[in-house]
Amino acid sequence: MVEGTNIFSNQGPEMIIGYDEAVMMKREGLFSKMGDKLKNFFGLDSIKIIGILAPTKTFIDEVHIVNTNGFEGIQSKESLFITQNQSGQEKIFYLYDSKNIPTKL
């Protein structure tokens, strides 16, 4: 962790952000510090940012990790397909069409 915590309190929707994604979000003024709430996140009214992961130079730097309260409120969860490959690694796919593609994708 670079900042914040990696332990969810489950007191509402919470999120841990990968390093590169957090840098971009701060630069765009979406949040400034731990505990800030990101408004209108994929259908959630708000989600609390609790941590930023250390940089890894891997795809982890781009992820958003949400707790159960956050995941249950995300409107696009019906479009997520989660599976494991033969090595046991989880793979997450976002299935989209003209009706559910995010405007900022």
CA proximity to 35, closest of 21, 16, 18: 16
Amino acid at 80: L
Are the beta carbons of 49 and 35 closer than 8 angstroms?
yes
pTM to 2 decimal places: 0.71
Residues 49, 54, 59, 60, CA torsion sign: negative
Q: How far apart are CA 60 and CA 19, in angstroms?
A: 8
What are the pLDDT digits (tens) for 66-93?
Answer: 888 887 777 665 666 677 778 877 676 7
Q: How far apart are CA 84 and CA 80, in angstroms?
A: 13
